[in-house]
Amino acid sequence: MSSKTVRVVITFLFLSTLVICNLLYFLPRYVVQPTPSALTIAYGEEAKSVIEAFELTYGSLPVRLNRNLLSNLMTGELLARIMSLGESSTHYITTNIDLKEVRVLDYAPLQFKAVGCGQMNRDEVTPEGEQIRTLPGWTFKKIYVFNREDDIWKLAAVYDFTDPNGAIRDWSYVLDWERDLIGPLPDYVHEHYGCGFHN
């Protein structure tokens, strides 16, 4: 092989390496939006509406004052657990929810599982509805599982992973029924922690 051919080959290899390195460096900065799954494309809007309606209704003063209304919002072990909680002299009312992204993980006619993330605004109020204070906006990332009962989507399980390390750490304390409904939480946290960063 002549020295000229060797120089051409070395130059080609150098330039190819340079192009590949630049692509590896710059491409992730432009391709940051994950492609939505087929389930999210098909059912994402429905899941978003269900999650928004749940959070606003669950965080309303009428529901806080009348726990019997919870049976229209929740089901199963989750409903029993929430019903067993003690009363409070003040209530935290959801005034607004900005659901930035929803990712549907599973969908069937009687159950769906989705990741929802965004921000909520809440007020602390008295039982009479008098405002005590407005709380700072609260950013959240949650996994929701809804079951369809009496033609209504009702929350069967929910798990907050806004703090990913804390969520994975505390997962070992979650009851079996909740673990069964939510599924492989550590995998979901790693895969979906970027939820909401792209909008």
pLDDT, averaged per 10 consecutive residues of the chain (199 residues), comes to 59 54 42 70 96 96 92 96 85 93 96 96 90 92 97 97 94 95 94 73
Task: Strands of the chain (E only): list them.
Answer: 91-108, 111-125, 131-134, 138-149, 152-160
Q: Tell me, what's the pLDDT at 5?
A: 64
Task: Give the pLDDT score at 18.
Answer: 47
Neighbours of 118 (CB within 10 A): 23
- Strand residue runs (E) in 126-162: 131-134, 138-149, 152-160
Phi and psi of 177, rounded to 5°?
Answer: -60, -35
Q: What are phi and psi of 165, to 5 degrees?
A: -65, -45
Cα 67 → chain centroid: 25
Q: Measured between alpha carbons, how far is 56 from 170 in angstroms, rounded to an integer?
A: 26
Cα separation, 49 vs 140, in Å, equals: 17
Q: What are phi and psi of 97, to 5 degrees?
A: -135, 130
Structure tokens at 114: 């989705």
pLDDT of 27: 40
Q: Residue 169 is which amino acid?
A: R
pLDDT of residue 4: 62
- Whole-structure pTM over 0.75, yes or no? yes
- Chain centroid to Cα 110, Å, comes to 20
Q: H helices of 70-174, where?
A: 76-83, 164-170
The reported pLDDT for the residue numbered 13 is 52
